């Protein structure tokens, strides 16, 4: 008995999510190897893990910006998401921008403001794409990104947390940096995967429908 179309789609979807899980596990094991070779420098400011974070964020921003070139209703949304990734990229370079700019990394907030203005100008398409996006797997993956980077990373990334939990005698500096950079690293991998899911479930599908209508 031949599998149905729905069964084939489900198999492909499960295969894709399995690959995502393997990539995440690869991120976990890579940190173990980084710690083995780079020792305490692994989680230093602009160390190997943070450099990978910057690379992933920049790749995500470029991914969304490239997807915005597709003639789909998701152009404004892709631009906005790309601008958020670019802002996060500048946020990771806060110590560098603190020496160059009056507003430090916060100048990068202009990027989502500009793209939000573009979205408002195309609000009909943006609202429709937002509804579709919020019911997609890409949205829920980005939700996990927000949970990972904001409440979790910020909680374990503060010195007072470890002082309260471990006592004042324990030096929390290295432990704090390890937790913060590790969690953010995995969060940015999730962001990268969600940008792939955004293309697969939304942009590519819409592009095919547009081509069919033209034919």
pLDDT band at residue 37 under the 50/70/90 scheme = confident
Q: Which helix (H) or strand (E) holds 139?
A: helix 137-147
Considering only CA atoms, which of 194, 48, 69, 54 is closest in space to residue 133? Answer: 194
Give the DSSP per-residue string, 109-151.
GHHHHHHHHHHHHTHHHHHHHHHHHHTSHHHHHHHHHHHIIII
pLDDT band at residue 161 under the 50/70/90 scheme = low
pLDDT for the residue numbered 104:
82
Q: Which of 128-142, 156-170, 194-208 is the most confident on average?
A: 128-142
Mean pLDDT over 132-148 rounds to 89
C-alpha torsion 173→166→189→117, nearest 10: -80
SS3 96: helix
Other beta carbons within 10 Å of 59: 16
Mean pLDDT over 55-66 rounds to 95
Query: Cβ(28)–Cβ(186) under 8 Å?
Result: yes
C-alpha torsion 78→81→87→92, nearest 10: -120
pLDDT for the residue numbered 175:
72
- List the domain boundaries for the chain: 5-214
pLDDT band at residue 19 under the 50/70/90 scheme = very high
pLDDT for the residue numbered 210:
74
Indicate the pTM of the whole model: 0.81
pLDDT for the residue numbered 33:
87
pLDDT band at residue 171 under the 50/70/90 scheme = low
Other beta carbons within 10 Å of 30: 15
pLDDT for the residue numbered 80:
96
Non-local (6+) Cβ contacts of 112 within 8 A are: 80, 83, 84, 87
Mean pLDDT, the chain, whole residue set = 85
User: Which segment of 18-27, 43-52, 94-103, 164-173 scores lowest on mean pLDDT?
Assistant: 164-173
pLDDT for the residue numbered 120:
94
Query: Cβ(81)–Cβ(115) under 8 Å?
Result: no
Query: Cβ(168)–Cβ(32) under 8 Å?
Result: no
pLDDT for the residue numbered 215:
65
| Confidence check: pLDDT of 56 > 70 | yes
| Confidence check: pLDDT of 172 > 80 | no
């Amino acid at each position: 008995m031949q599998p149905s179309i729905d069964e084939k789609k489900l198999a492909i979807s499960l295969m894709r999510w399995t690959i995502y899980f393997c990539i995440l596990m690869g991120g976990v094991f890579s940190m173990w190897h980084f710690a083995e070779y780079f020792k305490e420098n692994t989680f230093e400011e602009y160390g190997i893990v943070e450099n990978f974070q910057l690379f992933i964020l920049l790749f995500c921003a470029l991914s969304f910006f490239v997807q915005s070139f597709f003639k789909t209703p998701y152009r404004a949304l892709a631009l906005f998401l790309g601008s958020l990734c670019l802002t996060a990229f500048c946020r990771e370079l806060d110590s560098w921008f603190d020496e160059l700019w009056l507003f430090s990394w916060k100048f990068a907030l202009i990027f989502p403001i500009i793209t939000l203005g573009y979205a408002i100008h195309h609000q009909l398409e943006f609202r429709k794409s937002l509804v579709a996006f919020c019911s997609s797997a890409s949205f829920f993956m980005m939700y996990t990104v927000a949970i990972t980077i904001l409440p979790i990373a910020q909680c374990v990334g503060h010195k007072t947390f470890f002082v309260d939990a471990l006592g004042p005698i324990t030096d929390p500096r290295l432990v704090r940096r390890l937790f913060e950079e590790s969690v953010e690293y995995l969060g940015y991998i999730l962001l990268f995967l969600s940008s792939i899911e955004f293309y697969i479930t939304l942009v590519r599908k819409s592009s095919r429908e547009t081509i069919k209508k033209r034919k």
